[in-house]
Amino acid sequence: MNTPQLGPGPHQYCTIVPPYLLVRLAKLDDPRFAQAAAAARQSLLRDSQIRQLRGGAHPFPYSGARTLPARTPGQSDRTISDADGQERLPGRRVRAEGQPAGSDPAVNEAYTSLGATQNLFWTQFGRDSIDGAGLPMDATVHYGKQYDNAFWDGERMVFGDGDGQVFNRFTISPSVIGHELTHGVTQFTANLQYQGQSGALNESISDVFGALVEQHTKTQSTNEASWLIGEGLFTDQVEGVALRSMKAPGTAYNDDVLGKDPQPSSMAGYVETEDDNGGVHLNSGIPNRAFYLVAEALGGNAWETPGRIWYDTLTGTGVGRASDFAAFAAATAQTAATLYGIGGAAHDAVLRAWATVGVLAGPE
Strands 137-141 and 78-82: parallel
Q: Decide: 225 and 245 in contact? Cβ < 8 Å.
A: no
Q: Decide: 130 and 99 in contact? Cβ < 8 Å.
A: no
Q: Please state the separation of Cα 291 from the chain's center in Å.
A: 14
281 tagged catalytic: yes
What is the C-alpha separation between 66 and 263, in angstroms, rounded? 39
Rounded alpha-carbon distances, angstroms, from residue 185 to 60, 148, 273, 305: 15, 24, 27, 19
What is the C-alpha separation between 120 and 301, in angstroms, rounded? 12
214 tagged catalytic: no
Angle, helices 285-298/345-356, rounded to nearest 10 degrees: 150
Distance from the first to the final alpha carbon of the chain: 51
Count the residues in the chain: 364
What is the C-alpha separation between 6 and 274, in angstroms, rounded? 30
In 3-state terms the chain splits into helix, strand, coil percentages (rounded to 5) of: 40, 10, 50
Q: Is 141 helix (H, G, I), strand (E, B) or coil?
A: strand
Q: Is 53 helix (H, G, I), strand (E, B) or coil?
A: helix
Q: What is the enclosing helix (H) or strand (E) of 80? A: strand 78-82
Q: Does residue 90 have a cis bond before it (omega within 30 degrees)? A: yes
Catalytic annotation, pick one of 179, 183, 216, 281: 281
Residue 218: CB atoms within 10 A of its CB come to: 12
Catalytic annotation, pick one of 109, 142, 179, 180: 180
The catalytic residues are 180, 281
